[in-house]
Amino acid sequence: MGREHVETWKRIFLCIAGLIFSLICGCATLKNTENQTRAEGMLLQSRILMSEGNFHGAVKENEKVMTMFKKVPPGDQAIYNIGLIYAHYMNPGKDLNKSMRYFEKLIEEQPQSPLAEEAKIWAGLLKKIVMEEEHFLRVSRMLSKGDYQGALKENRKVLSLYNTAPPSDQALFNIGLVYAHYGNPDKDYKESGRYFEQLIQKYPGSPLAEQARIWLNVLNIIEKAKQVDIEIDKKKKELTR
């Protein structure tokens, strides 16, 4: 009789324990479902804000999702969205370095995410663009300081790295400008023209090709004017003999 009593209590205890476990799991599942629904609403709101040009607000909505779902979906979507927002051409707060960091964060924290591969492409592209921008900014600073040889050297680095692809067209154009620059003590119009001709030949579809043609026309006019001056000086010397 005592043994049956003990067995009965065991069964009651197991039933109560199972019920408590079910309630705990049920509450956790319900809370997780509620958070998922809230996150979906925030992601939708971020898209609406972005379409309205409210990029700052869109970032804030995605940051909320990131806080709720650290290193798990849909946190990956939120990180990806922020990367896109900082790279958006219409965003007045555009920051390519920040954008690149968010894509790298997604790759590092959630490598299994279906968005990780796209993030790798974006990160690689942005790294290339940032490097190019920094390079041409250095060139601009050198020119403003009168360091023409330094500017030539920087642009030739680009030509060696990107032999037959952009931004080599920009580098060729820059070298042409450096050789034609009025302040350059080693100014050489013929050398300038050769680089503009290379640009037109190698990159006929470049937006800089038309500007290179204009520069070639200007340089030809300058060369003709120099020839006229030479002829005039020659005639003057002949008359004074």
**Which of these ranges, 13-17, 134-138, 219-223, 236-240, has the smallest mean pLDDT?**
13-17
Closest listed residue to residue 139, CA positions, set 185, 96, 172: 172
pLDDT at 71 over 80: yes
How high is the pLDDT of residue 86? 93
How many Å apart are CA 122 and CA 120, to the nearest integer?
A: 5
Q: How far apart are CA 140 and CA 133, in angstroms?
A: 10
Architecture of the 38-128 domain: Alpha Horseshoe (1.25)
Bigger pLDDT: 115 vs 223 = 115
Q: Which CATH number fits domain 146-239: 1.25.40.10, 2.40.160.40, 1.10.10.10, 2.60.120.380?
A: 1.25.40.10
Percent of the chain clearing pLDDT 70 (strictly above): 80
Q: Where are the domains of the chain?
A: 38-128, 146-239
Please tell me whether the overall predicted TM-score, pTM, comes out greater than 0.75 for this model.
no
Q: Sort 80 into a burial class: Cβ within 10 Å, 0-12 / 13-18 / 19+.
A: buried
Reported as a single tens digit per residue, the pLDDT across 119-142 is 999 998 888 778 777 877 888 888
Reported as a pLDDT band with limits 50, 70 and 90, residue 10 is low
Rounded CA separation 68/76 (Å): 11
pLDDT over 50 at 29, yes or no:
no
Whether the pLDDT of residue 77 is over 90: the answer is yes
- Average of pLDDT values for 214-241? 69
Domains 38-128 and 146-239 agree in fold: yes
Tell me the torsion sign for CA atoms 42, 44, 49, 50.
positive
Task: Check residues 230 and 144 and name the one with the higher pLDDT.
Answer: 144
The chain-wide mean pLDDT, for the chain, equals: 82
pLDDT of residue 167: 85
